[in-house]
Amino acid sequence: MISNGKNITTPQHAQVCVIGSGPAGITAAWELSKAGLDVILLDGGRQLDYSRPGYYKQSWPDKVKLYNGLADGNFSKNEGEFLIVPYGGNTGPTRERERVHGGTSTHWGGQSRPLDPIVFEKRPGFPGWPITRAELDPYYAKAVTLNHLYGAYGKNGANFTADFWAAEMLKKGLQAAVPSLENFNAEMYQFMGYQWLNFATRPFDGVKNIGASAVRVIVNATLLNIVEQGGSVQRLEIASMNDDPNNPQKATEFTVTADVYILACGAVANARQLLLSGVGNNLVGHYFMCHPLSQIPVIQTTKTYLSQAESNLMNGSGWSDPTGNNVGITGRFIANADTAKSNGIGRCWFWANDQYGSSSMYFEMAPNYDSYVALDNTSDNPPDPVFGQPQTHIHWAFSDLDKKTYETNCSLFKQATKGAISWQSWDSIADQWTVNGHHIGTTRMSASTAPTEGVVDQNLKVHGVDNLYVGGASVFASAGISNPTMTIITLSIRLAEHVQTQVPKTRARASRA
């Protein structure tokens, strides 16, 4: 059921309240509801006609008014409007934040791959996670099933390996072979079928969409304050907007209480919401990361370095998903774990440009305390504010390790391809990097409760608060190189399993207060 917050004025209660309805929030809400818990799912975007293609574009005026703020540091060069420019906007490269039911799943491409084991390990410049890849593998397997990806996850993510996909293509009579480049792995990505991409409108186990499930979805419900006292969240203070798209104003206010709360609004908004409420430790907002993408092509291929069969595999040439789930595949070259460790670097993502041409660069940003989300000293779109809250100040900063990661990876890839590529120096393109939509860090997980280590524990519970959890890529301790959404979904499945053990069993769904 989907309700509009402007029609609500009385207190609401559930066993679990999830704030944010992108892949993180909707996955958690679905899994908890499927387990029999009473769940409220909140989203700040106004109610729209979700059956209309591109419905999320109707939310952009509200986003400009409510998501604006100051973007500086690396943003100062070419993404000064990072916080509000629409995805696919006409000014500059792709930028991704949405304020709408479905979140950024309303426009993503479905590119999916688990994080590699090295991401979870401590190494110079990278703190390690308090969980291992092996601990996440059972939940990655569930994410594969939930999202109708191809093949069985198996041991160590078998259905994402180059060997698996070469064999599958050969079964279909296609030429395919696994490339062998020194120091680099050929790693395969699956693309979720288009019918599963938008988490607000996609089906779940025969249910038409999350709004048709037992989850109580409330849109037009902006979180104003997380009221925490004595180490426990007591309630959420929520407000709605009126229907005037040209002059949005506060319409109603109400509260939501729950046994457990899950904040899942994205890395920028998760940090901002905690800062607005004074919840969490002094590390909230720090270690903002992404996968920096060069705004211009920086890799030039000068000669062919793959056979036709190898090229077919890396480009998924001729593949057609026999299950009917419209799953596509593609490959990328990534420095292997031993190479990354021995050189003390993060990893890069190289497209399989086996013919003459050029491509952009995409790399694993190192965690950097001085890259952060904070509160600005301005309120939402003065002098006519909607909610009158401080805006966002986001400062994106690189470290010396990022330069080393870029230059070492490029040099090694040139050696691996026997001189088939050339690349531009870091200094010549230092002002050409964009975020590429993957917002990571700001509430990272740590085993230690020390405020210098992390914001949430290995179960994603905020340190020092017994009933508040955080979902999404903001909890990543490091960025890895894989697109983050599959891991976001995986962590939400794991989080929902844990939260089930934390909710009092005395209230059933039928006994809503």
Task: Give me the mean pLDDT over the 51-60 stretch.
Answer: 91
Q: Tell me the pTM.
A: 0.96
Q: What is the pLDDT of residue 220?
A: 98
Whether the pLDDT of residue 89 is over 60: the answer is no
- Chain segment 490-510, per-residue pLDDT in tens: 999 999 999 999 998 544 444
> Mean pLDDT across the chain, nearest whole number?
93
Integer Cα distance of 225 and 456 in angstroms = 19
Whether the pLDDT of residue 93 is over 70: the answer is no
The more confident residue out of 173 and 384 is 173
Task: Give me the helices (H) in 131-213, please.
Answer: 133-146, 162-171
**Bond from prior residue into 292 cis (ω within 30 degrees of 0):** no
> Where residue 131 falls among pLDDT bands split at 50, 70, 90?
very high
Whether the pLDDT of residue 511 is over 80: the answer is no
CA-nearest of 310, 327, 225, 284 to 445 is 284
What ranges do the domains of the chain cover? 2-511
Percent pLDDT > 90 in the chain is: 82
Task: Give me the mean pLDDT over the 89-110 stretch.
Answer: 81
Integer Cα distance of 333 and 201 in angstroms = 34
| CATH code reported for the domain at 2-511 | 3.50.50.60
Integer Cα distance of 143 and 138 in angstroms = 9
Is residue 118 within 8 Å of 340, Cβ to Cβ?
yes
Is residue 204 within 8 Å of 31, Cβ to Cβ?
no
Q: What is the pLDDT of residue 49?
A: 93
Q: What is the pLDDT of residue 354?
A: 58
Q: What is the pLDDT of residue 356?
A: 62
- Chain segment 413-453, per-residue pLDDT in tens: 999 999 999 999 999 998 889 998 899 999 999 999 988 99
- Chain segment 227-245, per-residue pLDDT in tens: 999 999 999 999 999 998 8
> Where residue 513 falls among pLDDT bands split at 50, 70, 90?
very low
Q: What is the pLDDT of residue 510?
A: 42
- Chain segment 480-493, per-residue pLDDT in tens: 999 999 999 999 99
